Chain A
Amino acid sequence: MAISTTLTVNGVKQTIELDDPRVTLLDLLRERLNLTGTKKGCDRGQCGACTVIVDGRRINSCLALAVSYDGAKVLTIEGVAPRGRLHPVQEAFIAHDGLQCGFCTPGQIMSAIGLIAEGQAGDDPERVREGMSGNLCRCAAYQGITEAVLEAQKAVDALDRKEVA
């Protein structure tokens, strides 16, 4: 039985026919839409490499059935720098060496964007570490990741202030 799901991925609305209901949002992004920036690490919700933002909230796309997310707006790492200018979180990860091998980085960056949007961590490194605990980094770049998120938080705050002013 053919099933379809309509998703707005990085601003582009599309209806995708699925021949199998088992397809996860992660596999749909990677295998059907060729958006391979989102990574498959554990595929069981333990590592956070597959983190994307759905309707404004970070989730693990490996534990999401694509068909169940019919109607959702999905933001992936491919969609955060639309005009060729890096997102403040991406810039901060580069500035603070928040990565080594890079495999977990798209998930880390999407998670950090979600964390900043949630507005719970502020400038407290302990709250940042706690809020990022769903993203593992086997190279253990955690120190740089925490510094990057704190700096990005400041940059986003400054942008917000400019927009309000």
Chain B
Amino acid sequence: MNNFEYVRPATVRDAVTAALQPGGAYLAGGTNLLDLMKGNVSRPTRIVDISHLPGLDRIEDLPDGSVRIGALVRNADLAHDRDSARRFPAVAEALLSGASAQLRNAATVGGNLMQRTRCAYFYDAASACNKRHPGSGCDARGGDNRLHAILGWSQNCIATHPSDFCVPLVALDAIVEMEGRTGRREISLEALHRLPDGSPNSETMLEPGEMIVAVRLPPEAAQFAAHSRYLKVRDRTSYAFAIVSAAAALHFDGDTIADARLALGGVALKPWRAREAEQVLIGGRAGTSSFRRAAEAALAGARPAGDNAFKIELARRVVARAFALAAAGTPERLPALPASPFADAFGVAAHA
């Protein structure tokens, strides 16, 4: 790990000023950043410790029915927050399917959004990687790439975004609030992460020094509470990143699907919203055939980046099953193995 200057600002404004210096990096939970620094993948020369900033660790109900989650809320605290878990069950399920209990106790909301890809070639300083060294190439292409992207990848980069949490958030139209040199602004989470078109080293829409201060869920997000699931297929049952995951949410008017939401994880360099699939379902009935058609639509543009063609059919099946689970109803309590295909198939519906 390279040496760095350590600064601990007292306000968000001071933090932004400190992080604007070249080589500045924000430290919150540190669960990804310190790992990257130990591997010399990230070499910040100034650490701006925002973990002591006041006021960013709250979950607030706003007058318009939105819920505002501070950037420093710990993953475990959000997952176990009773009101949030009741209104946004797929968010809680995704959080609890990620990492380990120790990591969830330290990792923050903002840090989860800002975590880097787990592509092994990105982590290996001896490999060519256009993210680490723009223009150096991509050793993942032609390498061990069975877990790499099937959507939105380019010749320059075939990595995936590793977050579980971001997947239901994108499905639920979450908004990211940030503060930078020119004040506060907000964008949709769906627009935060960039696809690797030209320059995969540019990963998000954040300006230099800009800091995520909160994530907001709009009022409509809660209307899916009774029919929301996150399903995640991984190489081992717990404590592993997704090969493919899906957040599926339905809102019924009688037997008719009035609204549907779908996002996929582990398939692209960003959490992947699949609006085409949602359109297939809206106005129709729930069922195996409609869910399969939605899955076909979601993966229509998929193509393998290497030895990962299996992920395309796997993703279709994960989508169809996630919708079937969502249609059956959000379980009263999350299964012992959150988001796992090995959990009890259908729990008791909490909101029936």
Q: Given that A48-B100, A120-B80, A130-B238 are known contacts, is A58 also in contact with B105, CB under 8 Å in the complex?
A: yes
Contact A21 B31, beta carbon cutoff 8 Å: no
Chain B residues with Cβ below 8 Å from A59 are: 102, 105-106
Chain B, Cβ-Cβ closest to A114: B101
Q: How many A-B residue pairs have CB under 8 A?
A: 94
In Å, the complex CA distance between A114 and B99 comes to: 16
Chain A residues with Cβ below 8 Å from B51 are: 68
Contact B336 A21, beta carbon cutoff 8 Å: no
* In the complex, per-residue mask of B97-114: 1 if CB is within 8 Å of any chain A CB, else 0: 001111101100000000
Contact A44 B102, beta carbon cutoff 8 Å: no
Contact B336 A133, beta carbon cutoff 8 Å: no
B197 interface contact, C-beta 8 A: no
Chain A residues with Cβ below 8 Å from B239 are: 133-134
For window 52-99 of A, CB contacts with B under 8 Å fall at 57-60, 62-65, 67-68, 70
Contact A124 B336, beta carbon cutoff 8 Å: yes
A146 interface contact, C-beta 8 A: no
Q: Given that A129-B238, A130-B337 are known contacts, is A111 also in contact with B102, CB under 8 Å in the complex?
A: yes
Contact B101 A111, beta carbon cutoff 8 Å: yes
Q: How many residues of B contact A (CB 8 A)?
A: 32
A22 interface contact, C-beta 8 A: yes
Contact check: which of A57, A67, A127 meets B105 at CB < 8 Å?
A57
Contact A63 B31, beta carbon cutoff 8 Å: yes
Chain A residues with Cβ below 8 Å from B338 are: 130
For window 12-33 of B, CB contacts with A under 8 Å fall at 27, 30-31
Q: Which has the most chain B C-beta neighbours within 10 Å: A68, A114, A131, A135?
A: A68
For window 23-74 of A, CB contacts with B under 8 Å fall at 24, 43-45, 48, 51, 57-60, 62-65, 67-68, 70
In Å, the complex CA distance between A51 and B3 comes to: 25
Contact B34 A134, beta carbon cutoff 8 Å: no
Interface of B is mostly: loop
Contact A65 B34, beta carbon cutoff 8 Å: yes
Give the interface residue-count category, chain A: 35 or more
B310 interface contact, C-beta 8 A: no
B57 interface contact, C-beta 8 A: no
Contact check: which of A21, A44, A64 meets B106 at CB < 8 Å?
A64
Contact B238 A58, beta carbon cutoff 8 Å: no
Whole-angstrom distance between the Cβ of A126 and the nearest chain B Cβ: 4
Whole-angstrom distance between the Cβ of B342 and the nearest chain A Cβ: 10
Whole-angstrom distance between the Cβ of A44 and the nearest chain B Cβ: 5
For window 1-37 of A, CB contacts with B under 8 Å fall at 1, 3, 20-22, 24
Chain B residues with Cβ below 8 Å from A1 are: 5
Residues on B close to A: CB < 8 A? Answer: 1, 3-6, 8, 27, 30-31, 34-35, 38-39, 47, 49, 51-52, 76, 80, 99-103, 105-106, 237-239, 336-338
11 more A-B contacts (CB under 8 A) besides A60-B103, A118-B101, A130-B238? Answer: A21-B5, A22-B1, A48-B100, A58-B101, A60-B106, A67-B49, A114-B105, A130-B337, A133-B239, A134-B100, A134-B102
